[in-house]
Every structure is written in C-alpha cells, then in structure tokens.
Structure 1
Amino acid sequence: MRKKKILFFIYQMGAGGAARTLLNIINNVDRDRYQPVLVTLNFDGSYEHVLKDDVTFIKLDTKRLSRSIFKLASIIRREQIDIVFSTIPRVNTIAILARIVSFTRAKNVIREADNLGGTWKENIQLLAFGLIYRLSHQIISLSEGVKDNLVKRYKLHPKNIKVIYNPVDIENINELANTGTISPEHEALFTTDQKVLVTAGRLVHQKDHHTMLRAFALVHKDIPSKLVILGEGPLEEELLALSKELGVNEDVHFVGFQTNPYVYFQRADLFVLSSVHEGFSHVIAEALATRTPVVSTNCKSGPSEVLDNGTYGQLSEVGDEKQLARNIKQVITLEQQDISTLQEKGFERANTFHVKKIIKDYEQVFNNVL
C-alpha cells in the first residue's frame, strides 16, 4: 500500500510557534502510513537543521507568498500529494488556491493558530479568509478560543472545525534542557542569589513586553531579581530605552533568539508571558514541560486553556502591570516545598499536550479527510 504524501506548507521554518508545531508533526507522524514533504518560501529557517533526514524539503524560488501559487501547484502534481497541510491565514489561502489549480485529488487541511481581528479592517479581511477557508476539507483550531473566533469573525460553521491542541515533545524538551548548555556570556545571569524571570517570544506589540518591563520594575523594587528576555524583533531598541527609563536596565537582559530556550527556562525561577493575544501559547506548555512555574496574562485565548483557568499557573489581566507584578511576587516568594508542588503539577499538565497523544489526533484527521 502506497504511503500517503502530506505536503506541509509554511512561510519559513523560523523561530515562531507555528514552525515548532509543524516541526513536531512532521518529525512524529507515522512513517508507516505517511511520507512528509515540507515546502517553504526561499528563506532560511531556524528549525531546518532539526528536521528528520527522511523529510523531503523543498524551497520555492521566491520570497513572495503571492507568487507561490503556481509553483506550489506544480509540486502538488509532481510529488503526487494527497494532503496539503498549512497554517496561518495568508499561507492557508495560498495553499487552498494552489491545490485547486493543481487539478489533482489532493485535499486541504488548514490550521488556524491565533485570535485575530478587532478593527473593522481586520474583521473584513477575516471574512474574506473565511470564504476561502470553506473550500478546504478540514479546518483545525489549536484551542477552543480560536475556534470561537473562527465562528464569530470568519463566519465558519463550528461543525467544520476540529480543536487539536499543539503537540509538545516532552522527551526532546527535557533532553535539551538537561544536556544543553547556556551560552558562556549568559551563564552569570543564572549564578546569582537574585530571582531569575525568563520570557521568550518575538519583540513585537502582540507580546506586550512593555507591560512586562513595568511589572518587573515593580517586582525589582521589593525583590532582588533579573529578567532574561529571549527573542528578537523590531521593538528591541524601544524596550531597551524603556528599561533604562524604569531604572532596571542593569537587570534586564536581552539575549536574542536561542535555538535551545529550554535550558534557559529550566534554570529560571519563573516563566512570564505578557501577551495581548495568543492562539494556544505553545511556549507556556514548553515552560511547564521544563518544570518551570508560569505567570501569564489571561489573553484570548490560549493561556487560560493551557493553565486550566489558573489551576496550573497564575493569570493576570492583559496590560495590568500591577496585577502581573503581584502574581510574580506571589510565586517567587513561595516556600521551596510549594514551588516543588507547583513544578510537578505543571509537568503533569504539560503531558496533556504530549506529542504522542496529539499526533494521533492529527493522524485521525488525515485518515478522515482521505
């Protein structure tokens, strides 16, 4: 029996949660039944080197998503693809159109990864995406909150949407955390009596590092502490200036993108997320997998689902630096016995999203579509 070919299409195998999710699916999908093919635009991605050797990896000779439709259609025909899997709205749209013009029997499975919309312009755009999404064969939402948003703003029928949480590769995360090393120039950050807070994510408005810095300044007044920020982005200079304005710049450290963030998570006392919106918040589940306590904003829609409405980590209102600071203080001043209990509860929660469990949900979708 011929293995079914699944083409995974993404902008690039970069440093974001969407790329990590695709990586986990691609590397763990059953090789007895499926043969993965990865297609990206002509960019270098941070996760390319950890793809399994048996993955067919194709880069299109363009960096423009709008010019990739016919190139992708050609690959769908040539590789005799059975399923085209994609994520992120514009990429999903291109994948659906490419499948249509390929004139093959391939099927589209698309994944929505965030709570988008809000302004009238964005909402109209989402309605247009919704019209195209209806031409797919299965829509996957990575959380119940994102599903609600698909129904509300994309005007999609809930029966056509299946919720599958992000897969977390627990064993791989722990191996990297336990055997990896922190860059020598960062080692001193963790050999200290100060409490160490860590966060990870693109330095963009969605992640709201401004609120995090203001919250950290409130914590810093009362508790000797450091904030280690993993990630890159256009707001770095602005955030550096804010840390100086707040008088905490000597204890705020921008360490850039790290291919192994888990060793940083594991060495920290607390992981903090201050996002304005998320789809699932993969990074929270990964932090729990390293047995690191979590404090997060209660943004739509992922953190409350990952943390089960605060059972496995503190939740704060979006943009409220005072509440975020109070929650941070509450956790980092706990007795060691209470910290240990929190760590084990978090690790138990992370296993809810274990890749071995989640991949079976994806494989069931692939089977149903075929």
Structure 2
Amino acid sequence: MKRKKILFFIYTMGKGGAARTLLNVMNNLDRNKFEPMLVTLNHDGEYEQYVNEDVQFIKLEAKRLRSGILPLAKIIRKEKVDIVFSTIPNYNMVAILAKMLSFTRAKVVVREADHVGGSLLGNLKCLVYGRFYNRTDQVISLSEGVKQNLVEKYKLKPNAIEVVYNPLDIENIKQQIEIGELSKEVAPIFNQNEKVIVTAGRLVKQKDHDTLIKAFAETNEQVKSQLVILGEGPLEEELKSLAQKLNVEDRVHFIGFQDNPYIFFHEADLFVLTSIHEGFSHVIAEALASGTPVVSTNCKSGPSEVLANGEYGDLCPVGDPKSISEAMTETLTLPPEALQMRVSKGEERAQFFNANKIVSRYGQVILNTFKK
C-alpha cells in the first residue's frame, strides 16, 4: 500500500496539550503506512525540538490564523497531501477552509479536545463549528464526554464521531525522569522533610488555581507541605496575592513552564488538578505514568474517564476547596503499603493510554476515511 501523506496543522508547537498530542501522534505513526508532515504558523514553539527528523516541517510566513488559510491551501495542493489533520476549533476551521480552497481530494480529519460551550455565545460558536465539521471526513473526540458535547452542542451525529484517547508516550516519560534533574533553585523545595504537592497547567480561569491554593492552605494546617505550580499565564500575580492573603506565600512556588515536568511529578508526593472543565486531562495520565498519586476535580469530562470513575485516583466536586483538601490530606497520610499499591495501580492505568496502542488506533481511524 502506498504511504498516505498526512499534514498536521497547528498554530504553534508551543506550551500546550494539543501540541504535545500532535507530537506523540506524529512521532509514533506507522511509517509503513504514513508519511507525516507538520505545518505551523510563523511562531517558535518549545516542542519543535522533539519532532522526529523524518517529519517534514514547514512554517508559513503568516502569523495570524486567517492569514494562513491560502498559504496552507497551496501547500496541500503542492505537496499532494492525502490527509489534513488538525485539532482545536479555530485551527480546525482554518484546516477545513484551506482544504476546500486547495481544490484537492485530500481527506480532512479534525480532533475536538475540550468540553466547550455553555454560554449563549459559546453555544452559537459550537453550532457554527458543527456546520463546518459536517464537511469533514472524520471527527475525532478525545473522550466520551467530549463526544456527548459534540452531539448536544455541535449537533453532530454520534456515528460521525470516533473516540480516541490521548496517546501517552510512557517510554519518553520514563526516560525524562531518568535523565531529569531538579535545578539548584527548585531542589531545596523537595529536600525538606515535608510533603510536596504539584500541579501543571496554564494560569487561567479554566484551571481554577484559586481553589487549589485555598485547598492547599487547609491541607497545610494538617500536613506541612509545599505546593509547586508548573505553568505560566495571566493570573500569576492574582494567585500570588491569594497565597499571601492565606499566609502560605512562602509555601506556594510558581516556577513557570518546564520542558520536563515529569521529574517534578515523580519527585512529588501528590499531583492535584482543580480544573473547571477538561477534554481528557492528559496531565493526569502523565502523573500516573510518573508514579504519582492523583487528586482531581470531577469536571466535565476527562478526569473521570482517565481515573475510571475514581478507581485510580480521587475525584472531588468542582470549586470545593474543603473536599479537595480532605482528599489531599488523606492521600498524603496513607500508610506506605497503601501508598505503594495506589502508585502501582496508577502506573498500570497509564498503560491503557500507551502511545503505541493509541496511535495505532488513530492510524486505523484515519485510514478508514478512504473506505467511506
């Protein structure tokens, strides 16, 4: 069978779960079946350095999404692309329009990664996206919850959507833990005779770090701890003020984006996620693979699927510092044997999302578009 040329389109290979997912899919696709190429706008991204050498990488001259439609259409035509793959609504719209303007028979596969909508404006946007998604050859949802949202708010037919979970590159995670080293500035946080709690994500409203810091302040009264926050975003100063107001500013550490978050997960005693909504929550699966217990909000719609309704980690109500604090305290005070059992179960669960298996599923779903 002739290899299919698949073009992955994204704004930038920057700090985010979408870029990390595309990276895992591109790098692990079966080269006997696919010839992957990557197209981004003219921006530098932290994950570019991890793209395999055999992936053709093109940066458009454009820096804005709408300016990238025609250049992307030209590449689709010039490179004789068989499949255009994109993720996130705005990028998906560009990919769909570019394919249409390429006047080729390339297949379009779009991936929806979050549980969006809710407000009047948000629901209207979903309807518009749905109109365009209906013009694609395949819609991929990264969780059952997101699929349900696509049916309800995008008005897509259930049989037009395939659920494929995020691929987890466990081998790379283990390698990064092995070669990773905490910096001299950060190492002392982990070397005290106290528990360390870690989280990772953009400092934005969706991740609800407010609730996390409030829960941490309560937990710290029971178990002396340190909170390490990985990520950047517009709410950093506001969150620092909250930590100061709660008298834990010397125990809450904002250390920004990290190329290797896995060494932080591995060295910590607990990973906590307090998001208001998620599509899948890749970072929870990464924490499990790093050998770290997890406490998460039971937000729509990913955490409960990753943690199998609480079998592999605690699920708490959204925006409830008290219940999150109680779960954190309980986990941090587990007897050694119970803790090891929980870690082992988490690592076992992470294998369910192993990149080799999940990317194979991606490949099959994409190839099936040629049978329709």
TM range (shorter): over 0.9
What's the CA shift for 1:32? 1.5
Q: Is 1:262 paired with 2:262?
A: yes
Shift of 1:367: 1.3
**Structure 2 residue 254 is the aligned partner of structure 1 residue 232:** no
Question: Counterpart of 1:65?
Answer: 65
Tell me which amino acid in the other structure corresponds to 2:258: Q
Q: Percent identity?
A: 58
Following superposition of structure 1 onto structure 2, how do residues 286-297 of structure 1 map, counting pairs within 5 Å? 286-297=286-297
Task: Identify the residue that residue 353 of structure 1 maps to in structure 2.
Answer: 353
The structural deviation recorded for 1:183 is: 1.6
Alpha-carbon offset, residue 364 of structure 1: 0.4
User: Distance between the aligned counterparts of 1:266 and 1:238, measured in 2?
Assistant: 28
SS of equivalent residue, structure 1 residue 240: helix
| Aligned-partner Cα distance in 1 for 2:265–2:45 | 22
**Secondary structure of 1:111's match?**
strand
- Which residue number in structure 1 is paired with residue 89 of structure 2? 89
Q: CA deviation at 1:283?
A: 0.2
The match for 1:113 is 113
Match of 1:171? Answer: 171
Structure-1 residue corresponding to 2:283: 283
1:319 and 1:58 map into 2 onto residues whose CA distance is: 42
Measure, in 1, the Cα distance between the counterparts of 2:56 and 2:139: 24
Residues 76-155 of structure 1 mapped to structure 2, 5 A cutoff: 76-155=76-155
**Aligned amino acid, residue 192 of structure 1:** Q
Aligned partner letter, 1:75: I
2:290 maps to a residue whose letter is: T
CA distance in 2, matches of 1:289, 1:361: 20
Q: Which amino acid aligns with 2:83?
A: I
**Which amino acid in 1 is paired with 2:169?**
D
Q: Which sits farther off after the overlay, 270-279 or 56-65?
A: 56-65
Q: CA deviation at 1:192?
A: 1.3
RMSD across aligned C-alpha pairs, in angstroms?
0.7
> Partners in 1 of 2:79 and 2:33 — Cα distance?
16
TM-score, normalising length: structure 1: 0.99
Give how far 1:360 is off. Answer: 1.0
Stretches of structure 2 that go unaligned for 5 or more consecutive residues are none
Deviations 1:256-275 (Å, cap 9, x if unpaired)? Answer: 00000000000000000000
SS in 2 for 1:105: coil
Aligned counterparts of 1:169 and 1:16: Cα–Cα separation in 2 = 15
Q: Which one is further off, 148-157 or 62-71?
A: 62-71
- Alignment-derived partner of residue 242 in structure 1: 242
Letter in 1 for 2:109: V
* Structure 2 Cα separation of the partners of residues 236 and 124 of structure 1: 31
Partner of 2:5: 5
- Output the amino acid matched with 1:206: Q
d(CA) in 2 for partners of 1:359 and 1:162? 14
> In the aligned structure 1, how far is the partner of 2:178 from the partner of 2:298?
30
The one-letter code sitting in structure 2 at the alignment partner of 1:235 is L
Q: 1:85 Cα shift?
A: 0.2
- Does residue 316 of structure 2 align to residue 316 of structure 1? yes
Q: CA deviation at 1:188?
A: 0.6
What is the alpha-carbon distance in structure 1 between the residues aligned to residue 317 and residue 2 of structure 2?
51
**Partner residue, 1:19:** 19
Counterpart code for 2:365: V
Give the whole-Å Cα distance in 2 for the aligned partners of 1:222 and 1:170: 34
* Distance of 2:42 and 2:118 partners within structure 1: 32
Shift of 1:295: 0.1
- Number of residues of Structure 1 aligned to a counterpart in Structure 2: 370
Structure-2 separation of matches of 1:89 and 1:196: 36
| Deviation beyond 3 Å, 4+ runs, structure 1 | none
Name the SS of the counterpart of 1:185 in structure 2: coil
- Aligned equivalent of 2:51: 51
Deviations 1:144-195 (A, max 9, x none): 0000000000000000000000000111101101221112210111111110
* Length-normalised TM-score, structure 2: 0.99
**Amino acid corresponding to residue 168 of structure 1 in structure 2:** L
Matching of residues 135-214 of structure 1 within 5 Å:
135-214=135-214
Amino acid of the structure 2 residue aligned with 1:209: H
Deviation at 1:2, TM superposition (A): 3.5
